[in-house]
Each structure stands twice: as structure tokens, then as C-alpha cells.
Chain A
Amino acid sequence: MKTLRKLLIVIVGVFVSVQVFAQNSGTNPFVGSTHDYHVDKSTLTSDLTWTVTGGTQDVDYEFVGDVNTGEDIKIKWLTASATPYTLQVSEVRKFTATEIAGGAPASGCPTIRQISVTVEANTFDVYADLVTAAHDCAFVNSPVVDNDTAGDGSNLGDNSDDDFGTTTREYLITAVDAIGDWSYTYTLTHGGENVGDLKVNGVVYDASFASGKTITGINTPTQTITVTYKTNLNRQDQDFDLVFTVTGATDSLGTSDGDATAGKTDDATYKVYAVPATTGITTD
């Protein structure tokens, strides 16, 4: 029983925490985020009209699709506010001609609901981190085996058929304050060097990467990107910068990358120093 009670306390605690730390909600949206707002209409014949006070339309906020009527609307918040905006919805009865003739008030007897919306600075941020030392040598098998591919000794002392190993660099992509799944586009630069058998997460890096790759539906706080290439595959590699750049990150609310996290950037750069493409040792 005691244990069960403890467990319950823990569970309650977790829920409370989630509540406390929930951000980018409809009442505390991030700049750039889009939120849904909804009311259930009465059973009467009526019109619903939504308004925002305390800000200028299309400057501080916009109704997505310019729709501000109906039970469901979407508002994209554009500017952070020191004083809260007020979102109002007014349900106005539509009296029939007979009722109007019978003296029904022209005002339509509106019912007004409102909530206060405080638009906050966008702390949604997707950034890239290095996982290992920024400056490091390429990986090389130690020692490198002198392959005799032809089987007749003709490839001994030659490095063209030797496996120098696979160099790996990892990037950790982190999303802060994302609501729901998040996505981003990335580009990878590798100094324009003739890097052999370059792969990103096991996929061969080809021309399709040049304009950026988009990864969608990420539902974990972080994601690891693994870049590999075959060391000295095309003989002597050169030193180069391996740069991973995040662009166009969004979360499920359409919030764009706020770049608000101190000390973090969208790009992360490894300086990869080449290892010598030493040939096999020959002796007389």
C-alpha cells in the first residue's frame, strides 16, 4: 500500500510538472506559432466572429486563411506582446425576418467569450552540436593492412586497394520547446574535397543532398546524425571542414526556429585532419 501511494504521488508529480512546463500553448503562444481555437456553438441560428484586440491584424497576428468565423479558427501569432492580447469570439443570433418584424433586437443578443493571450518569445530552437572533438584526425586502421587483391603480390606496397578504415563524425540535433513532432532541413558541406563513399546515416551522399535534405516527424528531443566516409578511398585525403547546418526547422504548430538558445547554433563544424595514405611497407 505504501509503495502504491508513493507511486501515485510520483505520477501526480509528473503530470503537474508537464502542466507547469508546457509552453507554446494557445494562451501562451510562441512568436511564429499557429494555434487552433475552438468554441462549441449554441443550437441557435447564429454567426461566430473572432477578433483580437490589443494588436494589429497581419502585423501582430493573422487569421490563417483570413478566416475569422466559425467554431474553429487558426491564428498565427506574429509579435510578442508586453500586454496580453485579447481573443474574443462573439456569437450573434440571426433572427428571422418575422422575428425582426416582431421586435427582436437588432443587436442579435451576442454572447461574448474571451481569453487573454500572451505571445511569448520563441524559445523553440533546433540546433546542432558536435559529439566528439572539433579538431581531430580522420580514423585510420592501425596498422593498415597491405592487401594483395590480385593475389600475386602485385598490389603489395600499393595503397590503391587498401582499406584505411571508415571515418565517422556524429552530430547531435536537439529541439528545445518543440510541440509535437518536429522537422528540419539540413545541408552538409565537406569542403568540396573528393571524399570517398560519403554517407549520412548510412545513405550515400549524392547530388540529391545539394539542395538540402528534410527530415520530418521526429518525436524525440534529440536526433543523432552519423556521417561516414572511407578514409583515403581515393588515395590521399585533404584536411577539410565537415559542416552540418540546420535550416527551416518547424514543430507541429508551425513554429519556426527561434534560435534562442544561448551558445547554440544551427551549424556545427568538424575540422577533419587527413591521415597519410602511406603505402604498404616493401623490403628487398
Chain B
Amino acid sequence: MIKLYNKENYSLMKKLLKLSWVLAFLIASTGAFAQADATHSVGSVHTFKVNTVDADGNHTGNSYTWMVYQADADGNAIDADTPKDGDDVATLDTDYALPGGTNTGVDLNELPIQWLKAGDYLVEVAENNAGTGTCSTLRRIHISVTAGTIDLNVFASKIDGSSETTLTSCNDQSGKIITRGGNDFGKSVRYFAFTMKTDSQDWTGNWGFNYTISETNGSGILSSAVVEAVTADVDASVDGTILVTGNHPLIVLKVTVDNTPGPSDDSHPNAAANGNITLNISATDASPYIVAGGTNAYELTGSANNTLVTPYVITASPNTTDISID
């Protein structure tokens, strides 16, 4: 008889036990890291295809029916109803949209789907033989839909939305005559362009964001900036909020500030006398959103390019006094 609980056996058992834990953990980990076949972003349109690389040809004449089902993170179909009635379908125009308008047809072996809501989905296609055969084959693909690549991007622009590369320039009054008897050094206008994309695709639906203006000169914070929309259908009427409707993936905002004359002391940019205005705009973190399927899907926290990396500098003109005569 082997004594099970003598000292040597005990230590061996301990080791075995440890090993079992490691193995169990490994197996569990493998399960936990089950990945979707692809990750798409809310709002993006992706084309799903079958039979494009089949050596047997293009299956001409066969009909296809595409379905979208709800899934869990492991890609298993969900049947949440009581009693169970089969896999739960995702809701058209809430969870996803069909840009092509239909999900079934002859030779419809490619289907664009637009994702409207974050979640896990199964895209399924049933291919039916033409003619007498009603036989079908099902294929499924697991798609994880996230807000991950909803992306607002700010850049300095011209009025037409093209990129502005000269960020430091004289104020708009520079070189123009100051009206005699007054001390109005005028205003300067700078343009900011905003793009909204999801999965690097232009977002054509409604979108918006909150923003703050940063306007400073050598003496501190200024607050003269006035924001107006250049692009049609952009509502900038509420300070700090932009709402875009009507298919504008790129918009331009016009920011007008009062010039502050003074020395352009670039060698001492923080000197109180420095009249140069530093102007920037920042979309508030996590505020950019797209309206997909009737609800807002937000850009992730900490996304890049929500403000100009290098701000505008509106170089001041000398604070020349009015001409006096004797």
C-alpha cells in the first residue's frame, strides 16, 4: 500500500495542485481572449462578401439572405426570450442599417452594412442554390462594434476648409490705416476646420461637439472671441456647442478676435506688454459624438487631434498713437 499522506507525496501533491491551477488559468485565459473576427466602429459602413475567392466561380444565379444577430462577447448568438425562440436578431435601423436597402436577392454576395450601435453581432449569410434546390449553406462572422474609431480632427484652415500652414501671421489690421481720432486696432479672423470620421470613413450623418476657446496674450486671458459657422447647416448659436446636420463630414468655424496692439516681443513671449494673441480651440474631451440609429455614440476619452498642436499666433502691430500735430 502506498501511503498517500507521507511527506514526499504531500509535497508532490502540492506541486501537482499548483500545476493544475496554472493549467486551469491558461485554459480560462484562452476562453477569455476569444476575439471577434473583426472590430468595426459605430457609424462605419463595411462590405461583407462571400464567394469572391471561390475557385468554383461566382455561384451565378444563387440567392442570398443576410441576417444580423445579437451576440455575446465570445461570438455566441443570444436567445434572451422566454420561451426560447431562436437566435435574437439585431434591430434594423437601430443596431445596423442597410445602405443597399435590401438584405436578400439573387447574386447578392456582397452586402454593405452600417453599424449604428456598439455591441457584438453575428453577420450571417444563407446561400440558396438556384433552380430546384432549396438547399442552403449558412456562414457567420462575429463583428465587435465599438465607438473606438469615432474621430474628431481639428486643423487650422482657410475659409474653404483647406489646410492653413501659416499659423503665425500679422493681425488682420496690420498695414491698414487706423481711423483718425480713434484707437480701434481692428479684429482678426482665423478659421478652424473640423472633420468627423468613423473607421476613417467620413461621417455623413449628424454630429456635434463641445468646445472651449483659448485666447491669450502677454497680459493674460482674453475673451473677445466670437465663433461663427462658415459651413451651412452648422448650428453655432450656443456658445461652446456645435451641432452639425445635413451631411457635412468637414465643417469650418470662423473665430473673430479683437486685436491687441503692442510690442511683438517674441524673445519674451510672456512679457506683459506682448500683444501677440495665441488662439486655439479645443473640442471637450469625450464630447464629440455622432448620431447613429437615433442615439449618440461618443468619441473615446483621450482621443488625439481635438485641438491644434501648434496654435495660431496673431502677431500684434505696434501700438502707434494717433498723429498729433502742433
> Which residues of chain A have a CB within 8 Å of any CB of chain B?
137-138, 140, 142-144, 146, 156-160, 164, 232, 235-236, 239, 273-284
B241 located at the interface, meaning its Cβ lies under 8 Å from any Cβ of chain A in the complex = no
Residues A137 and B136 in contact, CB atoms below 8 Å apart: yes
Residue in B133, B137, B138 whose beta carbon sits within 8 Å of that of A277 in the complex? B137
Q: Which 4 pairs between the two chains have the least Cβ-Cβ distance?
A: A137-B135, A276-B127, A143-B140, A143-B138
Give B155-197 as 1s and 0s: 1 = Cβ < 8 Å from A's Cβ atoms.
0000000000000000000000000000000000000000000
Chain B nearest CB from A88 CB (Å) reads: 64
- Alpha-carbon distance between A280 and B128 when the two chains are bound, in angstroms: 15
The verdict on A273 contacting B129 (CB below 8 Å), with A137-B135, A278-B137, A283-B141 known, is yes
- Alpha-carbon distance between A164 and B141 when the two chains are bound, in angstroms: 16
B102 located at the interface, meaning its Cβ lies under 8 Å from any Cβ of chain A in the complex = no
> Which label, helix, strand, loop or mixed, suits the secondary structure of the B interface?
strand
Residues A160 and B135 in contact, CB atoms below 8 Å apart: no
Residues A276 and B128 in contact, CB atoms below 8 Å apart: yes
Q: Which of B51, B52, B55, B135 has the most CB of A within 10 A?
A: B135
Report chain B residues within 8 Å CB of A283.
37-38, 40, 46-49, 123, 141, 143
Residues B53 and A279 in contact, CB atoms below 8 Å apart: yes
Residue in A143, A144, A157, A239 whose beta carbon sits within 8 Å of that of B53 in the complex? A157
Chain B nearest CB from A138 CB (Å) reads: 6
Report chain B residues within 8 Å CB of A275.
129, 133, 135-137
- Alpha-carbon distance between A277 and B54 when the two chains are bound, in angstroms: 8
Report chain B residues within 8 Å CB of A282.
48-50, 52-53
Residues A144 and B133 in contact, CB atoms below 8 Å apart: no
Residues A284 and B46 in contact, CB atoms below 8 Å apart: yes
Report chain B residues within 8 Å CB of A276.
59, 62, 127-129, 135-137
Can you pick out 6 interface pairs between chain A and chain B where the beta carbons lie within 8 Å of each other? A146-B37, A157-B53, A158-B53, A276-B136, A277-B54, A281-B49
- Alpha-carbon distance between A278 and B38 when the two chains are bound, in angstroms: 19
Give B31-52 as 1s and 0s: 1 = Cβ < 8 Å from A's Cβ atoms.
0000001101000001111111
Residues A281 and B123 in contact, CB atoms below 8 Å apart: yes
B6 located at the interface, meaning its Cβ lies under 8 Å from any Cβ of chain A in the complex = no
Residues B139 and A164 in contact, CB atoms below 8 Å apart: no
Report chain A residues within 8 Å CB of B140.
143, 281
The verdict on A142 contacting B141 (CB below 8 Å), with A279-B50, A282-B52, A283-B48 known, is no
- Considering only CB atoms, which chain B residue lies closest to A271 in the complex? B132
Report chain B residues within 8 Å CB of A160.
55
- Alpha-carbon distance between A279 and B134 when the two chains are bound, in angstroms: 18
- Alpha-carbon distance between A158 and B56 when the two chains are bound, in angstroms: 11
> Which residues of chain B have a CB within 8 Å of any CB of chain A?
37-38, 40, 46-56, 59, 62, 123-125, 127-129, 132-141, 143
Report chain A residues within 8 Å CB of B129.
273-276
Report chain B residues within 8 Å CB of A157.
49-50, 52-53
Residues A279 and B51 in contact, CB atoms below 8 Å apart: yes
- Alpha-carbon distance between A138 and B127 when the two chains are bound, in angstroms: 14
Report chain B residues within 8 Å CB of A277.
54, 56, 59, 137
Residues B56 and A278 in contact, CB atoms below 8 Å apart: no
- Alpha-carbon distance between A164 and B54 when the two chains are bound, in angstroms: 14
- Considering only CB atoms, which chain B residue lies closest to A137 in the complex? B135
Residue in B55, B135, B139 whose beta carbon sits within 8 Å of that of A281 in the complex? B139
Known: A283-B46, A284-B47. 14 other contacts (CB 8 A): A140-B138, A143-B140, A157-B49, A158-B54, A239-B132, A239-B133, A273-B135, A276-B62, A281-B139, A282-B49, A283-B38, A283-B40, A283-B47, A284-B46
Report chain B residues within 8 Å CB of A239.
132-133
Residues B139 and A144 in contact, CB atoms below 8 Å apart: yes
Residues B125 and A278 in contact, CB atoms below 8 Å apart: yes
Report chain A residues within 8 Å CB of B37.
146, 156, 281, 283
Report chain A residues within 8 Å CB of B54.
158-159, 235-236, 277, 279
Report chain A residues within 8 Å CB of B128.
276
Report chain A residues within 8 Å CB of B38.
283
Chain B nearest CB from A273 CB (Å) reads: 4
The verdict on A144 contacting B134 (CB below 8 Å), with A277-B54, A278-B50 known, is no
Residue in A138, A144, A232, A235 whose beta carbon sits within 8 Å of that of B138 in the complex? A144
Residues B136 and A236 in contact, CB atoms below 8 Å apart: no
The verdict on A278 contacting B51 (CB below 8 Å), with A235-B56, A283-B38, A283-B46 known, is yes
Residues B137 and A144 in contact, CB atoms below 8 Å apart: yes
Residues B123 and A273 in contact, CB atoms below 8 Å apart: no
- Alpha-carbon distance between A144 and B126 when the two chains are bound, in angstroms: 10
Chain A nearest CB from B132 CB (Å) reads: 7
Residues B53 and A142 in contact, CB atoms below 8 Å apart: no
- Alpha-carbon distance between A144 and B139 when the two chains are bound, in angstroms: 5
Report chain B residues within 8 Å CB of A158.
53-54
Chain A nearest CB from B313 CB (Å) reads: 42
Residues B133 and A273 in contact, CB atoms below 8 Å apart: yes
- Alpha-carbon distance between A157 and B54 when the two chains are bound, in angstroms: 8
Chain B nearest CB from A234 CB (Å) reads: 9
Report chain A residues within 8 Å CB of B141.
146, 280-281, 283
Report chain B residues within 8 Å CB of A144.
137-139
Report chain A residues within 8 Å CB of B48.
281-283
- Considering only CB atoms, which chain A residue lies closest to B59 in the complex? A276
Report chain A residues within 8 Å CB of B124.
143
Chain A nearest CB from B71 CB (Å) reads: 12
- Alpha-carbon distance between A282 and B38 when the two chains are bound, in angstroms: 9
Chain B nearest CB from A269 CB (Å) reads: 16
